[in-house]
Structure 1
Amino acid sequence: MNPDFLDLLADSHLRLVGTPLTGPETATRWLHEDAPFGLLAHDAADDPRFTYANATAQRCFEYEWEEFVGLPSRLSAEPDRREDRQRLLDTVHRDGFATGYRGRRIARSGRRFWIEDVTMWNLVDGDGVLVGQAATFLRWRDA
């Protein structure tokens, strides 16, 4: 867990979405280990790869850290759901963030589940460079 990266997640969220990423607890350990929501990030490549997944996201997708980080993020959705996912990514890239998304995802085991109340935002570093996108999902349930 890189505290500087978690600071980038939180700072970009506050700047673009306009609300804090965390509640009263702002410790990076809380975001990584104890947050009651999934938190994911991928890089800005043409075929983005996950660069971060908190413990909640790892449990939902059934991947350990070493398997998750580096995985192409498109593989989190089934092929017939990737167009919907891509529309979300394009909207966020254009507008800076999007809220209210709901999408079906696939876990490592093949279990399908819905992520709901998704907020996705661009990750922009201190120099204004787009380094990726991040998302929180507040709820999830089996499909």
Structure 2
Amino acid sequence: GAGGGGHGGFGGAGGGTNGGVGGHNYGNGSEPGSSGGNVTHTSSGQVSNDANGGRGGGVIELGARNIIINGTISVNGGRGDDGAPPASGTGAGGSGAGGGSGGSIYAIANSVYIGYNAMLSANGGNGGDGASGAQSGIGIGMHDGGNGGGGGAGG
């Protein structure tokens, strides 16, 4: 599967022996997340649907003298697409795409109060699942399922 997007840490590696590497960490915590890796699956010479990496989380910047947070602020990365089934109906399943990395929540204030029930999150998205392999008709033959994509890093 494809690797997950990096940000505050390295993105998770994709599953399987040829899984994509996760994205590198970057920045200082005030930038958006990155997208997870994409996958194009070829089976029996035919290209099936692509699996797109999850989108990176955004950036929320708060600036005031005093900030009070009693609700939820989320800049989570998106989930990668699941792998595509074999294009011709028979063959190996496609690998999942990588999850997007979490974004950033940036506050500039003299005081910040985060309430008891408040929630702030900048989590990386999960990688997509690999698709099952398929065998047409009756016979002795098995095709591998696709590998899962790696998860994105938190912001």
Larger Rg, first or second structure (1 or 2): 2
Fold similarity call, TM over 0.5 = no
TM-score w.r.t. the length of structure 2 is 0.22
Q: Which has the higher helix share?
A: 1
Q: Which has the higher strand share?
A: 1
Q: Which structure is higher in RCO with an 8 Å CA cutoff and minimum separation 6?
A: 2
